[in-house]
Amino acid sequence: MVNLLRAIAQSGHEHKSFPLINDIEPFSHYFKGDGSLDYENLDKRDGACTRRELLLRFLVLNAVLDQGPDIVGVRKMLIDVTNSLYRREIRFLHTPVEFFKELGVSIDQIIEKHQTVKELRKAIWGNDNQTNPEKYNLFMDNSKQALNYAIFRWGVPLALPLLLEKDCADDDEKKSTALVDYLEFWESAETMSQQLKDNERYGLGKAIGDKACHLFAKWMVSSFCLTRKNEVSWDEFSYEVPYDSNAGRILWRTGYFLQWATKEEFVKANVIQVGAGKQGLDYLRITNIRGVGASTVLPENIQSCYSEIAVNHLKSHRRPPRKVEIQRIQHAYLLEDYENTGLSVSDFDEGLIYIGTNFCFNHDKPNCEHCPIEKYCQGLHSSPELIANYRT
């Protein structure tokens, strides 16, 4: 167990994958000559906003769009559209209302850049997923309507800083950090990620998933270190892993999930949907694992770390919880091992992304031979049905 989690996190530590914000032209002067982010000047104004504020506005938008089927393609399209709009003086990160005022231009650029990315990525995507490359579509929900995509997936996250600015009345200083201040109002990064979706006034609702909220928390806290907070409730263990299909596929095939509950229990929780996958195989609906309790008792030392995570880092409980939620167990193991390895939740998630997109493909012939965790994989060595009979 420990060796599997450590191997996943080590792979992530060595192969990080997050938005290339240095490719965003309006952010070009935010970086030093060596390419590193200039943290000393993050709170310097860039027009009406601070640099930190603008970076976070972009990352909220990126997290929403990153729910698409091809991470590389989504991120390239977002960069290309952003640079194209800014070249036309549509400064939608500085002034979000500009995206809506120039909606025709915004939609035209989304359509144009989507087509360009499709031509670049469709063959690779089709081969990796064993599907027709012409099905390549980054609009999500299998939508083909650019207006729906632009307003729902771009418009909602851009409306968040717009509304926060409106609520600052005429206080220009508060407006310059409106999003930063709102995000850091919450007592932990985990609480912030939940409020990003569910808050009654400012929540993005169905425009963003739980996975994307946690992805944003990871970027804000760990990948780009954009938080001004220094409490443990805003540290490397203060948000849940953004479980997605990559995570589910890997953790199911390796046998990790079956350490904590039986197949029957996962069926009952609707994590496994019998016969609902491609070719009539069982479908792993990993987003449904949130809140599912482990029926296996944790080792005593891990129980202590689990309580530490829940009470002090995630701030989800005021006292040690009785229920152990499966999606949080790796936190406890990583925390227990942290002094020895320095490997964090962010590293673990990066490892899931790297392995899921390069080796553990969503079909019956993944690239097991070169996978960095192949020696720990139950599906490869003893239970081939974990690979053959399930899809995400």
Q: Are strands 272-273 and 49-50 parallel, antiparallel or unpaired?
A: unpaired
Query: Does the pLDDT at position 68 exceed 80?
Result: no
pTM: 0.93
Exposed / middle / buried, residue 218 (Cβ in 10 Å: 0-12, 13-18, 19+) = buried
What is the rounded average pLDDT for all residues in the chain? 95
H-helix or E-strand spanning residue 115: helix 103-129
Residue-wise pLDDT for 306-321, tens only, equals: 999 999 999 999 999 9
Query: Does the pLDDT at position 301 exceed 80?
Result: yes
Query: Does the pLDDT at position 129 exceed 90?
Result: no
Please give the pLDDT value at position 266. Answer: 97
Residue-wise pLDDT for 76-115, tens only, equals: 999 999 999 999 999 999 999 999 999 999 999 999 999 9
**Torsion, CA 165, CA 169, CA 172, CA 177, rounded to 10:** -40
Collapsed DSSP state (helix, strand, coil) of residue 45: strand
One DSSP character per residue, 283-335 reads EE-GGGGTTPBPSSPPPHHHHHHHHHIIIIIS---SS--SS-BGGGHHHHHHH
Which has the closest alpha carbon to 364: 391, 341, 324? 391
Residue-wise pLDDT for 339-369, tens only, equals: 999 999 999 999 999 999 999 999 999 999 9
Please give the pLDDT value at position 109. Answer: 98
Which region among 61-70, 151-160, 201-210, 254-263 has the lowest average model confidence (pLDDT)? Answer: 61-70
Q: Give the number of other CB atoms < 10 A from CB of residue 115.
A: 11
Q: Where are the domains of the chain?
A: 19-184, 245-391
367 half-sphere exposure, CB direction, 13 A CA radius: 13
Contact (CB, 8 A) for 249 and 356: yes
- What percentage of the chain has pLDDT greater than the value 90? 90
